Amino acid sequence: MIYFDNAATTRPYPQVLKTYTDVAQRIWGNPSSLHSLGATATKLLDMSRKQIAELLEVKPTEIFFTSGGTESDNWLLKGVAFEKAKYGKHIIVSSIEHPAVKESADWLSKHGFEVDYAPVDRHGFVDVKKLEGLLRDDTILVSVMAVNNEIGSIQPLAEISELLKDRPKVSFHVDAVQAIGKTERANFLPDRVDLASFSSHKFHGVRGVGLAYIKEGKKLESLLTGGGQEGNMRSTTENLAGIASTARALRMTLDNQEAKLKRLSALKEVILTELEKHDDIVIFSGRENFVPNIITFGIKGVRGEVLVHALEEKDIFVSTTSACSSKAGAAASTLIAMNVKPDLATSAVRISLDDENNMVEVEQFLTALTHLRQKFQKIR
């Protein structure tokens, strides 16, 4: 099997699963309990939060645990919107956000907020000048993803940070779910960012654990009320095994990151170079300011899902658009925002690599793709 769908989810590291099972079996006390089992669980929870904070170069009090990236996005957008509603009700999100952000913005628009969508250029980067033109005196929130999940473009967060530096009333949220381990910290958590979302299973952790970064001093409405966990911001018994294993996954992912990125870049370069040789292939992912693990392309006249299933028959697993949207059969929303023609947009297939992939797999994939292109040409 060749697994090239790592932007959808990564395989948990064996060491991460060991941590998960060890904690679940041995440290099963409730962190909120007063007895010694609870104290042991609290100690591990605090250690995990501290380790994650150190790795992300933030404060432990700025890290909150959730059930995933979608929950973090929903909470951070809705929580800050209602907290700041007294200052204004205007929100800006980019036109290429993940549904977790887009749907949250749409929900807010049904509850008294006004939402504008910042356009992108034909390469998939947010147009900062046009975003600036959308800012108003009553703007309270700007949300722009760090790395686009469909084509891998790294968004200009530094430029947007500069744009917002004299607008302290505007909270800046970043969906960084696709960024960890795929680009440098400065590209997903510059200083101006107030809020950020992460998901454990995108960096070899287990599913069901997310992180929300909330800069010290920033206020937002609580997500869940009840027992007062997570500083009264998200009341529910903590998923201690998931959290402890997430800390380990993050440490392992960031270990030797520079070397991993070089290996990924080498794999991507071989694939891009081969794809560029063929006139019937259109490539949507570039080299400069793109992460090294995502390549989105299409064969003209062949729908993306057809190629996905044809590759699957050869035990090669890729995706059409984002995993969350692929079953809908719709064109990649990012490509539509880039003004790609619908017939090309529906041909899109996303390869998302991981450091565990190798050149032999890349060569096998390219051989399979060549055979399939020849087959499709005969059919047409």
Helices (H), 67-186: 69-83, 99-109, 128-134, 157-164
Spatial separation of the C-alpha atoms in residues 158 and 30, rounded to whole Å: 41
Strand bridging mode 294-299 / 281-283: antiparallel
**Cβ count within 10 A of residue 328:** 11
Cα 273 off chain centre by: 26
8 is annotated as an active-site residue = no
Spatial separation of the C-alpha atoms in residues 200 and 177, rounded to whole Å: 9
The amino acid that residue 65 corresponds to is F
User: Which of 324, 330, 336, 366 is flagged as catalytic?
Assistant: 324
Query: Do the Cβ atoms of 356 and 11 come closer than 8 Å?
Result: yes
Which residues neighbour 82 within 8 Å (Cβ) at sequence distance 6 or greater? 220, 221
Helices (H), 255-303: 257-275
- The 3-state secondary structure of 71-82 reads HHHHHHHHHHHH
Active site amino acids: 324
